[in-house]
Structure 1
Amino acid sequence: MNPGISEVILAEPRGFCAGVDRAIEIVERAIAKFGAPIYVRHEIVHNTYVVNELKAKGAIFIEELSDVPPGATLVFSAHGVSKAVEQEARDRGFSIFDATCPLVTKVHVEVAKLAKEGYEFIMIGHKGHPEVEGTMGQLSSGIHLVEDVEDVAKVAPAQTDKLAVVTQTTLSVDDAADIAAAVRMRFPKVREPKQQDICYATQNRQDAVKIMSPQVDLVIVVGSPTSSNSNRLRELAQRLGTESYMVDSAAELQPAWFEGKTRIGITAGASAPEVLVRDVIDQVRAFGAVSVRKMDGIEETIKFPLPKGLKLDDIPPPGHIS
């Protein structure tokens, strides 16, 4: 027990975003309507707890479509898929529900539209992330990945008259801005999105950490190691000079982190459920925290519609993972 901890401050907003809510509901409703098992390509969202809860309800997570039996129901994860994966799923005759976040789909649509006009693309993102693979896989060629400012100097497009930039939706807002500035400097005529590609939830959670970090001695981010937006929150707090750790669950909290700390900030990535945040709060209370205060912050009211075929009134609303 640490008698020095006087207060826990909760970031607002934190946790589930509209795209994650929608993706989980798609899997739950598919199980309710068609029965288990329902196959999901890649983790539906990058959170261990969510994936395990859905496995218990009858979801089977796969990477290769060859692991899905003929005639099965398949859900694409919130991160989106390449054209090749989409075509293979159709060719194999699966019943498909697309849980791609609509804000990722917006980027895919923009790439397809500009590609028809002869554009090449620079994509700002993390190599190997499923969202990046899905977006780059919208085209067979002409899309160049940059992960940092140094990469911008190495890009060799076939032409520079028609060049556009797109961004992974879950990046650090500040890092992406720095890289985009380097792209503009090297390619002054580059076309940028009308609205930034980084999603509202990523922006809002990072903005909340910027406000919270100077007020606390330690920031705990609830999120899984594979979650891009959760990692960015931890990095941001650290960059702002506040010691920060990311945990998948309360069991990972280390008492030593809290020694000499008076105020603790807690936030959660967009794929982390509130039940995990409550567990972390309970553990920090056990370490000696006296009070819990929620920051003032933006209230998110966005809700995305479900795909056709899952909206029927005769499907009971599934119990959310929360």
Structure 2
Amino acid sequence: MGKDMVKRNTPQTEEILFQSLDFIPIPILLSESHINQSSGKIKRIHCFMNRAFIEQIGYTITDIPDIDAWFNTVYPDAVVRQAMIDGWEAEVKRSLAAGIKTAEMQARIRCGNGEFRWFVITAQISTDNLSDLHVVTMRDIHDLQTLIEENTRLSYTDMLTGLANRREAEKVLTQLIIPAHQTDAKVSLLMCDVDFFKTINDTYGHLCGDEVLVQIATTLEKFTHQASCIARWGGEEFLIILRHSSLDIAYQLAEYIRCEIASTSFHYQEHQLNLTVSLGCVSVQHNESVRSALYRVDKALYRAKLEGRNRVMIG
């Protein structure tokens, strides 16, 4: 019949219900509440899975006979598992307080084939009829959730380099500067520009220019652990936001980046490119605005370009 049911004496109405649920194309799980006589705790025992559940989720009652086995199986990571248990408990309390008979959450679970997929899980938490049975339905939203996540990622990511984009950098900087004014925490900025980038485009073509930006971004990503944000600011410019960093520390990092890029051999097809960068370096002043800090670091970068490139200037 395509169902997996614990062998037990069931009323005829339940048997008819099970047969009917087997033809519904969304995964459905039925469970019973059992009270442990010694501890008084209620445990959910699974008693039926319809055909869609077994085919789409990939488990049988033998695999997940009760709610504990469910959490242990579909959330193999202990931290994630506890977060989901806590989330469900909070959702159940919220629903009960609102007089709602169901609790619902989005969840990313591990299916029987090892794949992780997103579902909306709706669990019946109280019933008027057949009070010993609770219905759980699952709607597959994996493709939609993946699309949403990808669109969200693209909204703050530079498509060429994979770094944060300008909008995300401004957001991060704003979030850092406001509390920094209240606590006197140091926030510093580095603005990095690829020297003679127009010559690279004119000599080797824009595809080469794009590859140079990607390789520069890869080099800058080595310093991710030291930065709150590394972003492509625009064109051949990159912005690095440093939290809890004095001007001296920021300058030392800027010099390290400059030397790292100058000593790295960059390649495009059969061409070897020896690249350098110029950098501006500033520390955000007390009560300084985002616009003012960005203006000063850009001005410092401009001075570095004017004074011969391949250098760091403090603003």
TM-score clears 0.5? no
Higher-Rg structure is: 2
Bigger relative CO (Cα 8 Å, ≥ 6 apart): 1
* Range into which the TM-score falls when normalised by the shorter chain: under 0.3
Q: TM (normalized to structure 2)?
A: 0.21
**Structure (1 or 2) with the greater helix fraction:** 2
User: Could you say which structure has the higher strand fraction?
Assistant: 2
